[in-house]
Every structure is written in C-alpha cells, then in structure tokens.
C-alpha cells in the first residue's frame, strides 16, 4: 500500500515545477499545478535500484543490456497487448527530441507537418524550429468533448505534407482515441503517404471505462506506417532521468530514423535511467495500479468541486493522463485577463491554454498528479478568486 497523500517538499531541489515560479509567473507564492510531472515519490523498487547502482561507485561507459530490452518488451505485452521485438526499440533521451529527429529524418525544409490542435506545445516547436511548416487540423469541440475532424484533415493535405503528429492519449484535452477513430485517421494518412508519429507517452495513465489502443496495433498497414513514442517518465514520475523508447516496426523507417540519431551520437541511456526503467517495468506495476486509483479519485474530486462550487467553469473530463482541461469562457475574460486572474487572484501556476494553440485561448490546464491536500488547497484558492470577481 503506497501513501500518495504524503506531501514532499520539492522546493530548493532545482525543480522546474516548484523553483521556477518567480521566473515564469512573476510570483513565488503560487501553488504549481502546471508542468506535467507529479508530486509523488517514485516506487520503492526504483529508488532502491538507483541506490544499489550508486553504491557501486564507478559510472563509466555502459551499453544497453538485454534485461533493459526484455523489460520494455514484457511491459508492452502485459499492459498493452503489443508484441514488440527487440530490434524495433530505439533509445532517445526524451520523446520531444525524438519528434525533432523524426522531422529531420522524414521531411525537408519547407515540407508540412500536421498536428491536431489544441495540442502539446513542443509539437509546434519541433516542426517550426526545424524549418518546416505547421499545419493545424483543429479538433472539434462539441458538447464538452473533443473529436477528430477528418474532413478538415483531408482538405489540408497537399503534395508537401509528409508527417502527422498524433497525441494519444491527447494532451491537453484528455481524449483516449478509440480503435475506430485511429483506423479512420490512419486510412487517410496511408492514402496520402503520410507517416504518423504517435506520441503515446501518457498511455499507461488511462481511467476506468476506457482502453488505450497503440496505433501500431490497429492494423498491419499502420504498424508499417507509424513511429510509436513511449517512455516510463510520465507513468513513474522519472522525467528527470531522460529516458524514452521509440518503437518502429518498419525496418526502412527505423534505419532512416536511426541515422538521424547517429549524427548526434545518441546511442544509449545513462546508467541510472536504465536501472530506473528496469525497476519500473519489472517491479512497480502494483504502484501504478494504486496510482491510477488515486488519480481517479483526484479527477472525480476536481470535477465534483468545480460543478458544485464554480459553475462558471466547465471541466472537460479526461479519459486519460493526469491533466485536466478546463473551459474558462464562462468567466468572460480574454486570454491575457485569464492569465492575470489565475496568477494574481487565485495564486495558481497553471498552463495557460493559448500555449497549446489558438483553440486553447480560453482554457487552462490543471495537473492533478499531486496529494489530495494540495489539490484541495488549489481548488479553494480558485473558489475564493472567483468569489472576488
């Protein structure tokens, strides 16, 4: 039994989430419910594995062990019914770098890459910073839920369109795409010779009543036309160890992607990241199961509190991830006014919706991956802030 209620002081630990508030928000006394890392300690098995490796005292060049690959393969099979082969797995120091590597490997300057907005903001940077053009295929927001717009997608594809970035589960709107939705999207991409880069970093965080479908599991055709980006970082709260696995069944695509990594001499995970992954996937499944129960309770608490106390806000109930997307249009403020309100009146550090794209301007993203007492305190600040209007 793990204690997710225990509050750990993360201040003065070089925590981006807690120690960058003055720099990023102009105030230190904010409660941070922004960047996507959790405030829970890692599973005991991970910390013990790191301690054991640390005690050895020598941290020289390492190679990726067979145990590492077996851990990944076993996890994908157990949790996602996905039968992965060792040679499909390519290490990168994070999913975001992998997006940039994919852009450079499979497009030329001036080519187009499609994303489904509002979406995780590094998607935009990975495209634009590499001299390619962002094409937005906005999701349809209807009756408190988001859907893919296939007609808009087909209209926007042209001869320069090479890639589509898929966020699955979707960050920030929390959708867990169904197999049927993914199949329809995949058929459009196959018809137009568009490779899909699927960011599935949150695929272990799925709420009751929903099931995640790995894109490569939808069909044989999509398995051969996709790059699946995975990592233990969101699942086990080890983002600081910078470890991810990009899984590419298609040999030609895999070799082309690998060549791009070789240019930057990206070859193997660091010693501690590898140990953490093995301990996470082999010994920490019980921790994840308890975490999912706790996050489910946090999600329900958040939704019920807002519905009962702050009717001006509309919560988009997440189907996956520990991030909650909130429609703030009922406050009748523009984007800048919302930003000022949440910082200066509510004393909360959130992700402002406009960073996810034009469609997010009147939204805020809340991170509920924290002890209940922190969430309760944040919601009371939110309630008092709105009462002051």
CA 241, distance to chain mean position in Å, is 16
Sequence-ordered list of residues with C-beta below 8 angstroms from that of 227, at least 6 positions apart, any chain = 98, 102, 195, 196, 197, 198, 246, 247, 248, 253, 257
pLDDT of residue 207: 98
In angstroms, how far is the first alpha carbon of the chain from the final one? 43
The CATH number for 16-43+286-387, chosen from 3.90.1150.10, 3.30.450.20, 3.50.50.60, 3.60.21.10, is 3.90.1150.10
Residue reference for tokens 């490997």: 105
Per-residue pLDDT of 339-361, as tens digits, reads 999 999 999 999 999 999 999 99
Q: Are 387 and 363 in contact (CB under 8 A)?
A: no
Question: φ and ψ at 363, to 5 degrees?
Answer: -120, 165
Single pTM value for the model: 0.98
Per-residue pLDDT of 16-73, as tens digits, reads 999 999 999 999 999 999 999 999 999 999 999 999 999 999 999 999 999 999 999 9
Per-residue pLDDT of 246-298, as tens digits, reads 999 999 999 999 999 999 999 999 999 999 999 999 999 999 999 999 999 99
* Nearest residue to 112 via CA among 94, 81, 133: 133
Provide the token pair at 100.
């940039």
* Nearest residue to 238 via CA among 268, 199, 207, 279: 279
In CATH terms, the fold of domain 57-283 is 3.40.640
Provide the token pair at 109.
């300057």
Q: What is the 3-state secondary structure of 258-273?
A: HHHHHHCCCCCCCHHH
pLDDT of residue 253: 98
Looking at the chain, which residues constitute the CATH 3.40.640.10 domain(s)? Answer: 57-283
Looking at the chain, which residues constitute the CATH 3.90.1150.10 domain(s)? Answer: 16-43+286-387
Which residue stretches of 319-371 are H helix? 335-340
Q: What whole-number distance in Å separates Cα of residue 11 and Cα of residue 8?
A: 9
- Asked if residue 1 has pLDDT above 90, the reply is no
Q: Are 229 and 200 in contact (CB under 8 A)?
A: yes
């Amino acid at each position: 039994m793990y204690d997710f209620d225990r509050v750990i002081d993360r201040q003065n630990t070089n925590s981006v989430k807690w120690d960058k508030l003055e720099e990023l928000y102009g105030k230190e006394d904010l409660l941070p419910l922004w960047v996507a890392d959790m405030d829970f300690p890692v599973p005991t098995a991970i910390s013990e594995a790191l301690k054991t490796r640390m005690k050895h005292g020598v941290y020289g060049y390492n190679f990726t062990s067979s145990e590492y690959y077996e851990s990944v393969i076993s996890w994908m099979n157990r949790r996602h019914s996905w039968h992965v082969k060792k040679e499909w797995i390519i290490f990168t120091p994070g999913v975001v770098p992998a997006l940039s590597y994919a852009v450079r490997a499979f497009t030329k300057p001036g080519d187009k890459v499609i994303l489904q907005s509002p979406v995780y903001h590094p998607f935009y940077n990975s495209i634009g910073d590499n001299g390619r053009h962002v094409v937005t295929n906005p999701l349809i927001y209807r009756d408190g839920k988001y859907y893919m717009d296939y007609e808009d997608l087909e209209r926007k594809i042209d001869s320069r369109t090479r890639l589509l970035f898929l966020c699955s589960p979707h960050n920030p709107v929390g959708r867990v795409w169904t197999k049927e939705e993914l199949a329809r999207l995949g058929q459009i991409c196959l018809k137009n010779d568009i490779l899909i880069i699927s960011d599935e970093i949150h695929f272990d965080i799925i709420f009751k009543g929903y099931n995640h479908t790995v894109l490569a599991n939808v069909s044989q055709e999509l398995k051969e036309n996709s790059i699946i980006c995975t990592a233990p970082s969101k699942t086990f709260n080890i983002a600081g160890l910078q470890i991810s696995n990009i899984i590419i069944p298609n040999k030609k695509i895999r070799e082309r992607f690998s060549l791009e990594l070789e240019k930057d001499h990206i070859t193997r995970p660091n010693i501690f990241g590898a140990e953490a992954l093995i301990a996470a996937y082999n010994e920490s499944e019980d921790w994840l199961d308890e975490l999912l129960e706790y996050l489910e309770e946090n999600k329900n608490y958040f939704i019920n509190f807002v519905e009962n106390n702050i009717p001006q806000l509309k919560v988009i109930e997440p189907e996956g991830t520990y991030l909650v997307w909130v429609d703030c249009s009922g406050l009748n403020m523009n984007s800048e006014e919302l930003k000022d309100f949440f910082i200066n009146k509510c004393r909360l550090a959130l992700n402002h919706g406009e960073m996810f794209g034009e469609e997010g301007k009147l939204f805020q993203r809340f991170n509920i991956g924290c002890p209940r007492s922190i969430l309760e305190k944040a919601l009371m600040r939110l309630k008092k802030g709105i009462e002051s209007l």
